[in-house]
Amino acid sequence: MAALTAALVTPGDDQLLKRWAKGDRDSLEELFCRYRSVAYRVAYRLLGHEADALDAVQDGFIKALTHLKACQGRSSFKTWLLRVVSNAALDLGRQRGRREILSMDAFAQTQREEWEPRASGDAGTRMEREDLQAQLQRALTQLPEAQRRTFVLHAEAELSYREVADVLGISIGTVMSRLYYARQKLRAFLKPWLQVP
């Protein structure tokens, strides 16, 4: 009963888009809130830099809204938006020269972790997790663009194979192939950090 009530109260993407087309600006805000987190994660994983990821998300949302008619009926709003955001991220990365290193803040954090003794308990686990995240970001920059984009959309945005195929305009077989090779390369790169001492 609670799920039914929530479904009645929470409008779907299509309903929000129709409301926005009629001039309801709050519906646009709701769509933005619904997808900004996943859009940011995708942009960040593609670019590896916080400020660039934020710029790409903003640019992606603006492009999505100005070309909204292109989305209608072809795919879900979420998959279409992530396609636009990932394109914006890759365009921005090309314009600014692909960043191969972490931002200065992340670099400083990594340096502190290397020099400070590991704390026991939760703080140590958190630091290890942060170190592994930094290594994952470095590993992602080593992947070819097509594999990185496919991996990020599947792993970070949690899109199905079909949705990734729709976003990228490729076959499911190509998605599976790219994911296989991306995982192999990431596994090889991260092997030193994943092994138990």
pLDDT at 107: 42
> What tokens does 135 get?
């290594």
120-135 tens-digit pLDDT: 456 767 777 777 778 8
> What tokens does 97 get?
């020269």
Rounded-to-integer distance, Cα 115 and Cα 122, Å? 18
Of the CA atoms within 13 Å of residue 184, those in its CB half-sphere come to 8
Residue 150: band (very low, low, confident or very high) from pLDDT cuts 50, 70, 90: very high
Q: How far is CA 140 from CA 53, 188, 189, in A?
A: 15, 12, 9
Mean pLDDT score across all residues of the chain: 79
> What tokens does 18 get?
């129709």
Residue 136: band (very low, low, confident or very high) from pLDDT cuts 50, 70, 90: confident
List, in sequence order, the alpha helices (H) in the chain.
2-9, 13-21, 25-47, 50-66, 68-71, 77-96, 104-115, 122-142, 145-151, 161-168, 172-194
Residue 3: band (very low, low, confident or very high) from pLDDT cuts 50, 70, 90: low
Region for residue 48 given its phi and psi (left: phi exceeds 0; alpha: psi -120 to 50; beta: otherwise): left
